[in-house]
A and B are shown apart, each in its own frame.
Chain A
């Protein structure tokens, strides 16, 4: 039965809470989000990023709820899914409230969706919008919601016109482009047995989830044949799979004595681990550089300056990662049609809290010609040694002078 915003709000508002992260020392909130009741036992769903401070530093922060009647009380963490940005917290005692229903039917594009939450601590609001499909070109499927999500609404439910939860509010890019986590991941998380979590420890649980996630991602990447494309006179990898967004660009500044044609591909998947630590992104770039005006010394000097810096897109601080260690050498491959000489640099840093995972950077320069050269670069974040080596091998084998 289709309902309007008014009746949906009336039906669900009692079971939706504001989630507060309270700093123990000051007793005041440092972050807010939303959450909703999903079981009669008092389990509340929210985003992992809403409660992440309490996960990482339980001695400094605790989680509390504020219900629609203004009652505030403690919550304890039950389980989380860091990859899909979901978390389950629980009330101390089972409330006399009806949990929200999960939608089990597929939702179709264009259907009305109502998102509920607590933007900017202004009080509970309901935001109408339109469902605009599943984002399939991404490692983690997300729902595209054309409506305005704002900070503080994270963790709140998005409902179809029957009042069933179809997704969890998670992120926004502004201009009515908002994203929801599909409810199927929440159902899976709720069914998971979380009895081992306290003994395993949150750190190990996060590492386990991140490792499993990168296994899934790199299996998709390494297991398949990579297509190639020509860039200038060189052969490089084309789109590794559909989850990468690729862009191209050629400089046309007349004051420059050289031309650079670049392709740049990125998987726009960044997993939120903490406010200062994101991981999971994969990028790779190629640049074909030519010059008719520069002499060979100048050309090589240009190449040195253009590619003297490299970085990963993920965010990390001193407490999260070690410094990079690099291996650099001149590498040749005589097997191709033309002898090749690479100046290759590969750098690795380890995650301090999740020691099975690393960030890996590669920079290669195919040089030796006086007026043309190829630079290739990749950046993997949150990858195991095994997968990083497999990816590197495949990447290095593929790039070459074209036939």
Chain B
């Protein structure tokens, strides 16, 4: 189901690309009909010579038929309902805020502007971390490359939408991806400032995960909204559930990573200009005092140690003891 809003006196419908509403229906004429809204009220003008038009289950034979708001029109195999803005629409058909926003954002011209804006943002972000002379071609490739998976993602959801609702809505999914990617960049930079100020690797990681979780939840919510007809709570349960699973995976893998042996130290190396620093320094002496307490390491599990020592000393006797009376040694 597609929704269109017009704030001008007329709109044409047909298969041809210069129509206001393009219908992919072989039974519809290239330019099939025009809907007008003027002082005389709503009316339908039949522009097709061969195709037929049914208004409220009746063949429209007149070239111009006045209609009431909310009336059902059939052209070819396509059904239309026309509402005037004065008409009170039933709640189920009301545009929700997100739908309204996306109806605007998915106009081709706006999609083009948004895509361009994202490319500029991405370029600016990359530029801040590039320290070599580069060529335009290399820059272009570097910027477009990450867009490829984004296009695939949008195409994947468009396919799902096509199967599930018969409406591909590629632009809806594409705009959602663009917004998500922009969020990643903006949040990433904000997180950098916070991590820099707190000089903390753990905080840096938490902020990174939070950014990922928010973006992922947002993207899934929007994708599912336009791809499925399920109830709201089902869509949300799926989107937030997946996000929670994703975050749980990140936290678990980080936890297991911190327990592994690493030959290199892990620390936060974020460095920014002094203007971004909103905290005071400590003195060299204070730093060295803090460092001094680093030398306290939790000792290895003592029981394990004792066991290995005993084993090493006298393996034969130990194994006999263990088999018969474990406490006989004391």
Contact = CB atoms under 8 A, between A and B. Distances in A.
Contacts of B49: none
Contact of B131 (A258, A325, A343, A392): A258
A235 interface: no
Contacts of A136: none
Interface stretch (B17-25, B160-168, B274-282): B274-282
B290 A347 contact: no
| Chain B facing A: main interface SS | loop
A179 interface: no
Given A324-B265, A396-B284, A389 B271 contact: no
A328 B281 contact: no
Nearest to A57: B312
B131 A302 contact: yes
Contact of B273 (A59, A300, A346, A389): A300
Given A301-B129, A304-B270, A389 B291 contact: yes
A107 B292 CA distance: 47
Contacts of B262: 323-324
A256 B284 contact: no
Given A298-B130, A331-B284, A352-B300, A326 B267 contact: yes
B315 interface: yes
A255 B133 contact: yes
Given A322-B297, A327-B290, A396-B288, A347 B267 contact: yes
A350 B315 CA distance: 29
Contact of A298 (B129, B201, B268, B292): B129
Given A258-B131, A297-B273, A331-B281, A326 B266 contact: yes
B193 to A, nearest CB: 11
A385 to B, nearest CB: 4
A328 B261 contact: no
Contacts of A310: 264-265
Contacts of A368: 274
Contact of B315 (A59, A301, A322): A59
A216 interface: no
Contact of A346 (B129, B199, B200, B294): B294
A397 B274 CA distance: 22
Interface residues of A, number: 62
Contacts of B266: 324, 326
A374 B199 CA distance: 19
Given A305-B129, A324-B265, A341 B281 contact: yes
Given A300-B272, A396-B288, A59 B281 contact: no
A305 B269 CA distance: 8
B204 to A, nearest CB: 11
A10 B293 CA distance: 61
A327 B287 contact: yes
B57 interface: no
Q: Could you say which of A254, A304, A318 has the most chain B C-beta atoms within 10 Å of its C-beta?
A: A304
Contacts of A301: 128-129, 271-272
Interface string B127-139: 1111111000000
B4 interface: no
Nearest to A373: B271
B40 interface: no
Contacts of A20: none
A345 B292 contact: no
Given A298-B128, A352-B300, A311 B263 contact: yes
Interface in B128-180: 128-133
A310 B268 CA distance: 12
A326 B268 CA distance: 10
B258 to A, nearest CB: 8
Contacts of A300: 271-273
A318 B299 CA distance: 15
A317 B263 CA distance: 7
A296 B273 contact: yes
Interface string A86-116: 0000000000000000000000000000000
A361 interface: yes
A370 interface: yes
A389 B270 CA distance: 25
A330 interface: yes
B199 A330 contact: yes
Given A308-B269, A332-B283, A341-B274, A256 B295 contact: no
Contacts of A192: none
A345 B270 CA distance: 12
Contact of B281 (A256, A298, A330, A392): A330
A302 B128 CA distance: 9
Interface of B: 127-133, 199-201, 261-274, 277, 279-284, 286-288, 290-295, 297, 299-300, 312, 315
Nearest 4 CB-CB pairs, A to B? A324-B265, A332-B281, A318-B261, A347-B265
12 contacts: A255-B132, A298-B130, A300-B273, A311-B263, A322-B297, A324-B266, A329-B287, A330-B277, A344-B287, A355-B297, A388-B295, A392-B291
Interface of A: 59, 254-258, 291, 294, 296-298, 300-305, 307-311, 316-318, 322-333, 341, 343-350, 352, 355, 358, 361, 363, 365, 367-368, 370, 385, 388-389, 392-393, 396-397
Given A300-B271, A330-B279, A385-B292, 5 more contacts: A254-B133, A255-B133, A298-B127, A310-B264, A324-B266
